[in-house]
Structure 1
Amino acid sequence: MACRLIAVLLMLPALAWAQETDPEPSGRADEAADEAPAPILRDLDLIDAGTQNDALSLEDIPETEVPTNQSEIDALFDSAQLAYATGEYGTALGLARTAAAAGHAQAATLAGLLHEEARIEEASDVVAVRWYRRAASQGEPVGNYRLGLMAQADRAGLARTEARGFFLRAAQAGHVPAMLAYALVLKASPVPQDALLAIEWADRAASQGHAEAMFQLAQMYDSWERGPQEPAAARQWYVAAAENNHAEAALQAGLMLANGEGGEADPESAFALVRQSAEAGFAPAMGQFGLMLLNGWNEREPDMASAVEWFAQGAVGGDAESRFLYAVALAGGIGVDRDLVRAYYWTLMAEYEMDGTRSLNVDRDRLQAALENDLTPSETEQVRAQIAAFRAR
């Protein structure tokens, strides 16, 4: 097997209206919440002003009859959501603004979202921030979460440093994606004590069943230089994330089980997990699964043709190792017709990883040199021109 692949993939989910009501899992995260550690108290000071400024007043709402009955207000918001879901964004905005004027916090968030996503002609990031601040001042966590995302993106004059406070407020209100977002902000912090807090908040989100949080928590236990380096915990959370259909986690879990990291080796489960990741479309897993098929993993019959098909899919998907493996198959006629020109093309394409960094693969360098010795100068020049045109696009 190739070396285990480690990569960071942030997939924060889209806006979720449902608010989690149990942000306090058992274990160290509980203790941190009960004891209210100093960094959290410090962050509360950071966000006091941020949720009070620029709140919309009723003067900002177009003249309309504002209902006072709660059921009528909720019905307005429900209608606004339906209009948003069916693409009637102007109607959604009017309904949301009316409900927000009557005090509906989630309606204010929806009005902000319509501006943030530019769903309406008069869309404005500045107005989006105002609506989100109005919602946040009423304790609506999604408003704070969206403010955090906008701050991270340098939108509407918000500073990136403000994101931490916005995410914290939403996280403390029980918003699970915000718990993860706050954990990742803490992870990037140079302050030493923030490292433990990052793990605790990621654990809170993971304990709520959030697949990306499970994966990120596993990464903190696994490959993070400031983490505790606990392979058993990493493996546990990779497996949990894989069970929640996280493709990259399935690959990491599979390779840990294959190599016996963090527990006993389990070749059959490893095969199933790597296959799950490959079939979910995760390019690095395609190359790994192809290797399992090529080598006859766990006493299976080698299947060279299927292995090469997986190498090819991973290569097209952008994985450097899959591209190299496909080039080797083409150069040697392994499970596919021998084709040195195509082999050279994929060898050069394997020079860079998916993140743009150069692949540190001496075998790839050797294969490139061997192919350049076998091909004519015009053949190599033609391939290089094709790659240059591809990268220019």
Structure 2
Amino acid sequence: MIKSGICVGVGLRGEEGKRNLPNSNVWPIGLDDAIRAGAPVVAIAEGGSDYLRLSQAVEKCGLDTPVIGWPGNVVPEEWESYLLNFDRIIFYRQGDKTSELISKRVRDRLGERVRVVTLPTQVKLTEEIVVSPTNKDICEWCKDMQYWKENYGTTDYDIDERLVKFLRNVPQPRRIVYTLEDMIHPPKTAGWLIENAIPRGEIGLLWGPSQNGKTTLALNLIYSLATGEPLAGIEGLRPASDLPRPLKVLFIEEDASLPNEIIPRLRSIFTGNPSPSDEDFGAVVQRVTAGNVDVRVAQLSLRVDDENSPGYRYATELLEEFWPHVVIYDALRSIHSKEENSPSEMAVVINNLRTLQAYGDNRTSRVRYHV
């Protein structure tokens, strides 16, 4: 396997294409270099060709994240012990059953430091959604994406960007130490979502007794971000002027009915009319969405404390596809089954929320909570 003119690995195969021959030694490509470099975050691609393609994408996109080539379907415990050198591991699995078992084993052994990525296989074309017929490995996936890009005019679809996007916002390990001298010139913050009230890139909690307007305030936050108007009409609480546009906002509602409660309330807030006509609401939508905001409202039966549940999978698929800037969960008690007075149990919920926070650009999450 040649990268930049240098032999970086040798693949061993025997009769009928069999690999991992008896008495032969294989080793993950790039593992030694990544350990020596002291890299906190690494990416793993299964197989030599996937390693090369992912390495090229990472380099092209200007990232310095080391890429490791995982040789086939072997998972010796010795390799896993070496992976403990890294704080975050992004495992790009292939689309077959063997790869699923490998990635699951690594995930089970190494815990929260591992994030298993399945590449999105659906692309929305002019009037239909097409699913990749292969998805066997990264290279086959890239061929499909390139075909759709060339034949269906998906010019805004960047294959390399799609491959590396999971590496751009990996939650970094917390190794922050400040001296008093450092505090003379405080580090620059990520900025504001709502000036002087809601910072960017954080997980926040909106809490209070039942029926005191938490959901209404959350829906008003969407309106404020979409229109630039002050939050809840309070002049000092305006959206930051440097927010990315169009701003992508995802509202995940698990506490109320979308058609009977949430959507009518959102229509009312956007129009200032308790019972707006479709034409009135349509006019507002056209005005605020033109290059300004993209809002999605969803119900997924989400359980953030159970990564194996269908709702968690639906959430990650939606986040992978939409890649939002802001996510609002409504409500905390409805998206987990842990004991909320137990710090150890709630740590699972918060850690998984931080994992989901990696799906997006400088993501800010607001969680609505009943006292």
TM-score normalised to structure 2 length: 0.27
Larger proportion of strand:
2
User: Relative contact order: is structure 1 or structure 2 higher (C-alpha 8 Å, sep ≥ 6)?
Assistant: 2
Kindly name which structure, 1 or 2, has the bigger radius of gyration based on alpha carbons. 1
Task: Kindly indicate which of the two structures has a greater share of residues assigned to helix.
Answer: 1
